[in-house]
Copies of this chain bind each other. A is one copy, B any other.
Amino acid sequence: MGRKRLQEPADGRPTVHTVAARAGVSIASASRVLNGVGGSPETIRKVREAAAEVGYVPNAIARSLQSQRTGLVALAVEDIGNPVYVEMMRAIEAVVASSGRQLLVHATGGRIDNETALLRRLANRYVDGMIVSPIRVTDDHLTALVDSPVPVVVVGQLGADAPIDNVRTDSRHGMALAVDHLVAAGRRRIGFVNGPLDTVPGAARDAGFRAALASHGIPVDDELVEVGDFQYAAGRAATERLLARADPDALVCANDLIAVGALHALLVAGRRVPQDVALVGMDDTELARMMFPQLSSVSLGSTERGRRAAELLLQRIADATLPPRREQVPPHLVVRASSAATLPAPRPAGPPTTHPSSEGVTA
């Protein structure tokens, strides 16, 4: 009885050949039974039994090579410690799971080489598609995205001409919402704690902040502007620097992590929030609601963006010939306790009123 090929691989794991041999049928029959298509009752029984006996588990890689799909979708974000990405991920996960696929997340740590490396690696067929949210976009990056072997959807701003599915928001406008709100509340010395200016969101928010102040005829005082990165510690340190040289009556932060850092710095410095300094964050993450006082924040619709990105991706996986699409989710302001008071607010020292932690109202 000449077996035609090795049936037991070196690592001892059974293959479909093992099962077929044990069941006394061909590998075709075995495969069919294992996939639940066809097979006589007798064959089905024998194959099932054999498979159970040897503990057969199919090799997904081999299956994927044949079927040209893996059932996996990846999400690449810069920093998974930022709750905004967690929220986005949850939304994506929901959509992806409903299509019977599984979502994998990769944190690039903002290292651009890492991100392109990921693209070149994962995208080379390990996944059926991927969603990436880059905060810096280089040309290298762009070409890697454009000729990715698998469908890619970008969450965030991209050059206008890039032929890539893209879900964006308008954080410039988001900054305007925050500034308008603070100005309406009587604030004039409005500070700004931003992330790095060489990032896409950093640049957009800087531009938005300046434009918004200008629209109210308020000159920009660069003493009131600080830059760190998009993390808690940087936000706190930047705010400390800012407070050491200026005296804002309001602070806008480029994201919620920075805003939490700013809140800490303000409280440590003995400022009351919102009485002395009103505070507005951005992204409207769970973190904003966790703080005391709860933080006002500009929602950039991260859940909505995630959902839409996932839908775009699934559509493109289904039909690669679709033209590149671009969707936009509008920002909106959620006002909470950290910016609720109007100046002047001559309340005496002490903790704020019993329930300043209202769930917030949408502006």
Chain A contacts to B: CB under 8 angstroms? 11, 13, 55, 57-62, 64-65, 68, 70-72, 74, 80-81, 83, 86, 89-90, 93, 102-107, 109, 118, 120-122, 124-126, 147, 149, 232, 260-261, 263-264, 267-268, 270, 286, 290, 292, 320, 349-351, 354-355, 357
Contact = CB atoms under 8 A, between A and B. Distances in A.
How many identical subunits does the complex contain? 2
A223 to B, nearest CB: 23
A120 B118 CA distance: 24
A61 B60 CA distance: 10
Nearest to A82: B86
B232 A59 contact: no
Contacts of A260: 290
Contact of A57 (B68, B120, B263, B270): B120
Secondary structure type dominating chain A contacts:
mixed
A104 B72 CA distance: 11
A91 to B, nearest CB: 12
A181 to B, nearest CB: 23
A198 B226 CA distance: 48
A126 B74 CA distance: 13
Nearest to A232: B290
A147 B14 CA distance: 13
Contact of A81 (B59, B286, B350): B286
A231 B254 CA distance: 26
Contacts of A121: 60, 71, 102
Contacts of A106: 102-105
Given A125-B59, A351-B270, A81 B86 contact: yes
